[in-house]
Every structure is written in C-alpha cells, then in structure tokens.
Structure 1
Amino acid sequence: MTAQGLAVLGTTVDLTLTGVVGARLAPTRVLATVPFSLIPVAAVVATFVWSRAIGRAGYRRAFAVAPAFAVAAGLVSARAVQLDLFWLFCVGTALVGVYQAGTGYYRYAAAESWPAARARAVSTVLAGGLVAALVGPFLATALAHTTATPYVASYLLVAAAGLAALAWNAFLPRGLAGLGRAPAAVAVPDAATADVARPTAALWRQPVLLGGVGAASLAAFAMMSMMTAGPLAGTDMGHSADQAALAVQLHMVGMYAPGFVVARWIGRFGERRVALLGTAVIVVAGAAAAVSPSMPAFLVAMTAVGVGWNLAFSGGSAMVAASYRPAERGRVQPVAELVTTTAQVAGALSAGALATRSGWPALGLAVALASLAVGSALSRSGRRQRRSRDIRRSAST
C-alpha cells in the first residue's frame, strides 16, 4: 500500500504537468501529448521484461529495483525542462512507463499473498494512492515556480518519491521473494491441483479471464484518454490552470478513494457486477464530456472517469487473478498487462488529436460507446455463466 502510494505520488506529477510542459517544449502543439503517450508505450515494452524478472527472481527483488527507474525519470525530466530539450523530456517520461510497468504487478503480488481475500488485497493496494492523489497535483503546481526554470522542482519530486520507494521496497517481507516462482496454492474453482497448468487455449477461453481483461482494458483506455486530454482541453475551454489542477485532483481522488469500500462490494455483489458498475460510471463520464464544456460538466467527467476506472479496474483485476493457477501465471499476467497497457497507449494517442475544445466532446462520446460495448459483453457473459450453473445444478439433482 505504501509502495503504491509512492508510485502514485510520482505519477500525479506527470498526470498534472506533462501535457502542459510537453506543449511548452514540443516544436508543434500536435506533439504536445507525445511525452505523456510514451509512458504507456514504454510500459507495454517493459511488461514482459518485468514478468520474466519476477519469474526468475521473485516479486521482492523486482520491486526493489523498479523505483530506480522513477529516480532516473525524475532527474532526466528535470534536466530536460532546464535545458529546453523536448527529446530528452520524452526519454524521462518513457522511464516513468518502465517504472509503472513494474508497479503494475503490485496488485498481483497482493492477490497471491492473500488468496482467501483476493479482492480486498487488490483494492487495498489501489487505495494506497489516495493520499498521493490528494496532495500530488497541488505539490506539482506548488513547486512549479520555486526554481529559476519553471517545473524543474516538480520533476525532482518524482525522483524524490522514487528514492523513498527504493528505501521502502528494500525492506519488503522476504516472503514475497518466493511468490515470483512458487507461490502458495491459490484456490481456483474446479482445479484438482494448483500446480498443474492448463493449455493456453483453454485458459483464454475462460469468460472470467476475457471479461476481466476487457474491463481492465476499458478502464485503462478511458482513464488515460480523458486524463491526457483533460488538462489541455480544459484550458482550451476557458478554464484556468488552477481549475485544471482541481479537476486532476478530483480525478485522482475518484481513482483511489473507492478502494476503501470496493472490496466489500466485491465480496457482496461479486467481481463481475462491480466491474459492470465501473463501466456504467465511465458512461456517465463520457456523456458529461460530450454534452457540455462547462466547468461543472468538466469536473463530473474527470471525477467520474476516475471512479469508473477504480471499479472496472479492481473488478477486472480480481477476475483475472481468479482465472489462473500458480503454474499458469506466466501465460496470463504478462498478456493481460500487455492488453491493458496497449489500451492505455490507444487512449493516450487518441487524446493527442482530441485535446481541444472541439475534440473533447468526440472523446467523451467514444469513451461512452466503448464502455457500453464492454458492459454489454460482461452482462451477456454473466447471464450465460448463470444459465450454465443452473443447468449443472438441475442435472446433479
């Protein structure tokens, strides 16, 4: 939870400022969102590297190394801003993506450490970012003009958060070391033994796995596209920098505050229903962006997409974690992460062309339609599973 909070603290700097700084450094405005877009692109490339590292060395050793990329990212980004070098700034944001790819496995480590409370473990990890979500955007803007070159100190904050994470992760429980190779048995329905791997084709025919990846990918696409475009679109719609910072703060609160209750909801209503609720909230976010450029609608869109991300991502991640046995992790986790981070890339790249007053409604409509499609698929899959269970029960009686 602490490690997640430190990761989110650094991320909020990029969420809050990278679009604005990118616009200052980029040779043309069209390239303004490229630095932020490189974060998920680098995460896609790094996902399989982290998966292999975890498989060989275990979670604990991989997590002890990951924050070093945040330190490097902060220092490189700060230097790039100081020297007014767009290409070097892109290198710094790409390093953030490498770090994020590593921290993406925090939730899997938590789920495998507490298999009997998988949903609570995942949501608790995500909730660790709440404090960072509250203070991060304001720290980023408060530090922006404390140095001779604006924004240098803000990116040094990324390096400082990385240093703190390095120190914290160095003392993670030693029990995590074995999770990357031979974790304790996870209770999987209909599994005769937890250490027998099923064929890859059989794994990826599971509705629970496909639905979980779909929900997590939708959450990633919606959050990344609206978060990347939001600050720039907000200023184009006439909102001030302080109002944009408020929107980012509410967005981050929406992303992490539900973590304190979502595990209870998953336990009561099930992972799929919570993921479905997330898709419905994302529809609200997209609709708010599509119908009005006003400040209230802008705040609703940014906040709702954060809340929807938490619900859909938590529910989807719990569904994914429930779909595989320990011996199958290497054939599920990296692929699920690849699909999710690819959705982030698509969201970030689409935002580059839509980060204007005229493009914001189109982005909102696209997000709403994508969420409706995923929600509909989840609902149909759930109905089929319930019918199958009813048929099996009838046959057994």
Structure 2
Amino acid sequence: MCAQSLIGSIGPVVVFVGGFIGIKLAPDEKFATLPIAFMIVGTALFMLPVVKILASVGRKRGFQLAILWGIANTLFSAYAIYIQSFWLFCLSVLLYGGLIASAQQFRFAAMESVDEQHSGLAVSVLLIAGLFAAFLGPEIAFVGKDWFSTEYVGSFIGLTVLFSLSLIFIQFFNAPAAVKTVGRYQGRALSEIIKQPIFVVAILSGTVGFSVMSFIMTATPISMHVHHHFDLAETKWVIQSHIIAMYLPSFFTGILIRKFGHKNVLFAGLLAFLVCLTIGFIGQQYVHYWLALVLLGIGWNFLFVTATALLPMSYKPEEKFKIQGFNDLIMFSCQAIASLSAGWIIQQFGWTTMLSLCLPLLLITLFVIIWWQRSLKIQEG
C-alpha cells in the first residue's frame, strides 16, 4: 500500500502537467495530450511482458525490477524536457508503462493474500493508496516546476525520490505461496473462460470504467486551462479532486459490495457516470468541471473495484496469470484508445461531443449486467 502510494504519483503528474508540456513542446496543439495517452499506451504494451516476468521471477522480484526501471525513466523524462524534445518526452512517458503495468498487479497480490470473501475489501484498502498519490503527484509536479531553469524538469526529478522510497517499502512484501499445477495442466483455454457471463461483466465494467474516465479526464486540463482560461491552480484542484474521488470511496466500496451485492454497486457506478455527463452538458463553469470530475472518479471506483472483485470468480488458481494479463491488456488498450483520441476530439468537436460519445458505452454495460443477472437466474432455476 505504501509502495502503491508513491508509485501511483506518476499518473497524477503526467495527467496534470503532461498536457501543458505538450502544448509547449508539441509541433501542433492537437498533439498536446499525446504524452498522457502515451502513458496509457505504454501500460497496455507492457502488460503481457510484465505479467510473464512476474510469473517467471515472482511478484516481489518483478516489482523491484519495475521500480528500478521507473527510477531510470524519471531521469530520462527530465532530460527530454531539458533539451525540449517533445518526442523523447513522449517516449519516456510510454516507458513508464512498465512500472504502471507492474503496479496494476498489486491489486491481485492483495486479493491473493486474503480469503475470497474479503477480496473486494482487499482491493478497496489497497486503492486507498491513491488518495496519497492524488496529493503527492500534483504537488510534486507543481512545487518542482521551477526547481531548475527549464520548467517541469524538477517535477520528474521529484518522482525519482518517490520511486526510490517505494523500493524500500516493497522489500517488506511477502508474496503468498504459489499454486502448484499438476503435470502440464495450465487450466482451461482462454476461449472457454471468456464465454462466461461473469467474465464478460468483469472485463467490460473495468474497461468501460477506465475508458470513460480517461477520455474525460485527459481532456479536462486542456478544456479548462487552454479553452476556458482557468488558472493553473484551479485546474490542479479539479484534477486532484477527481483523483481523490477515484480513491476515497475505497474506504467503503468493499463493504458496499458485501452488503448490496456486485450488481447494485455496478449500477451505482453507471449512475455516477450518467450524472457526471449530465452536469457536463449543463455548463462549463468551474463548479460544473469540479462536480463532474468528482462524480467521474466515484463512478470509476465503483466499476473498477467491483470488476476486480468479480474477475477471480471466473478463473481457477492455475489460470490467474493468463486471465489477469488478458483482462488488463484489454482494459488498458481501450483506455489508451480513449486517451489518444481525447486531445483530437476536444480540439475538433468540443466538450459536449466528447461527453455524448460516452453514452453508448454506458448503455452497453448496463445491458450486459442485466444479461448476466438473467443468466444467473436461469442457472438457479
């Protein structure tokens, strides 16, 4: 949890200042959000290799290697900004994908350390780390902005310190004993597992949650600071509030799942997203941005935590690395597409069109959850 707090700071840093660095260095303003999108693209690209490495060398050693990779990359990012190279900076942000993909596996490590009935609570507790990251990331980016003669170099040097501290904390992690497989049996075929309604709901809820959240979040700093001229401090607080809202519900999401069931928490997440879009349609004053982004964070939390808790119900222990890797590959690939397109869409079509494009995804998710519930009733009958 402590390591996650420190490593998780990279996301808020890139989201907060990536677009501003992009505007300053990019050859065209429509590429301004490209660094943010590259971070998510990198996560998708590195997901399967990271999962394979973790399966080969073990979670603890794999986490250590990923953190060392991240420390080296913070220096590369600082250098790219120092020489004012937009494409080198994009490459450095892409390479953070190795560390982020590794950190995404923390939630599965947490779930495997507790009984199945407590898996949702374990994920919720781990995600509380995001609250610390929500403050650490933007603050280190804001404070470090002027540490050196070139703006934002210090923001990434500050990350070097945070990642180094996370390396100390991860030394205390002890992975649960690995499940031994008999002979060459490696579980069911992927094609068989993905046909299960519970798997479809888990992967779709997580994917839509991440995609809609990233799509709107990536474009918000540009819409606020560039298009509507809100100052940097106001924009920072909206992003910080959004990230806090992503993780603050983790104090009770696991409890809500146990009390009201997975289905109802998923419905609550979709409702939060719908209200977020409604507020965004109403206006683009500061209060509209702030409230919409807070609801966006809450909706993401409900969908992501519930989807993560559902996923282990679809696979056997010997299938875990295969399914966890496949789930995260799909989820972050779709999130990458959403982030890549956000900058172009906000520049070409505006805020309202962006929000409208999210509605079909929410409706599809709603229908799939209803289909899953009907399949359960048929099985019980």
- TM-score bin, normalised by smaller chain: over 0.9
Shift of the alpha carbon at 1:330? 3.1
Matched, 1:296 2:287: yes
Residue number among 281, 301, 305 corresponding to 1:310 in the alignment? 301
Shift of the alpha carbon at 1:222? 1.2
Q: 1:178-197, aligned counterparts within 5 Å?
A: 178-179=177-178, 182=180, 197=187
The aligned residue for residue 344 of structure 1 is 335
Structure 1 segments of 4+ aligned residues over 6 angstroms from their partners: none
| Counterparts of 2:42 and 2:36, CA distance in 1 | 10
Matched, 1:217 2:217: no
Matched, 1:238 2:239: no
Residue number among 246, 262, 266 corresponding to 1:275 in the alignment? 266
8 Å contact kept, 1:182–1:326 = no
8 Å contact kept, 2:201–2:369 = yes
Q: 1:1-397, aligned counterparts within 5 Å?
A: 1-116=1-116, 117-173=118-174, 175-176=175-176, 178-179=177-178, 182=180, 197-235=187-225, 236-356=227-347, 359-389=350-380, 391=381
Moved more, 220-229 or 252-261: 220-229
Moved more, 249-258 or 118-127: 118-127
What is the DSSP-based 3-state SS (H/G/I as helix, E as strand, rest coil) of the residue aligned with 2:147? coil
Shift of the alpha carbon at 1:356? 4.2
| Counterparts of 2:212 and 2:266, CA distance in 1 | 14
Moved more, 123-132 or 364-373: 364-373
Aligned-pair identity in percent equals 25
Could you report, residue by residue, the CA deviation over 1:270-300 in whole angstroms, capped at 9, with x for unpaired residues? 2232122112211222222233211111112
What is the total number of aligned residue pairs between the two structures? 376
Distance 1:357 1:287, change over 3 A: farther
Could you report, residue by residue, the CA deviation over 1:356-384 in whole angstroms, capped at 9, with x for unpaired residues? 49521111122233123212321232233
CA RMSD of aligned residues (A): 1.8
| Counterparts of 1:301 and 1:358, CA distance in 2 | 19
Could you report, residue by residue, the CA deviation over 1:375-396 in whole angstroms, capped at 9, with x for unpaired residues? 232123223313432x1xxxxx
2:139 alignment partner AA: F
8 Å contact kept, 1:287–1:365 = no
| Counterparts of 1:4 and 1:383, CA distance in 2 | 37
Distance 1:131 1:319, change over 3 A: same
What is the DSSP-based 3-state SS (H/G/I as helix, E as strand, rest coil) of the residue aligned with 1:227? helix
8 Å contact kept, 1:208–1:320 = yes
1:331 alignment partner AA: K
1:302 alignment partner AA: L
8 Å contact kept, 1:9–1:133 = yes
8 Å contact kept, 2:42–2:95 = yes
What is the DSSP-based 3-state SS (H/G/I as helix, E as strand, rest coil) of the residue aligned with 1:149? coil
8 Å contact kept, 1:73–1:158 = no
Shift of the alpha carbon at 1:238? 2.8
8 Å contact kept, 1:272–1:319 = no
8 Å contact kept, 1:72–1:95 = no
| Counterparts of 1:15 and 1:306, CA distance in 2 | 14
Shift of the alpha carbon at 1:196? 7.6
| Counterparts of 1:28 and 1:54, CA distance in 2 | 39
| Counterparts of 2:235 and 2:327, CA distance in 1 | 32
What is the DSSP-based 3-state SS (H/G/I as helix, E as strand, rest coil) of the residue aligned with 2:173? coil
1:58 alignment partner AA: G
Give the unaligned 5+ runs of structure 2.
none
8 Å contact kept, 1:143–1:154 = yes
Give the unaligned 5+ runs of structure 1.
184-194, 392-397
| Counterparts of 2:283 and 2:338, CA distance in 1 | 21
| Counterparts of 2:379 and 2:233, CA distance in 1 | 53
2:279 alignment partner AA: A
| Counterparts of 2:114 and 2:186, CA distance in 1 | 20
The aligned residue for residue 189 of structure 1 is none
| Counterparts of 1:243 and 1:367, CA distance in 2 | 25
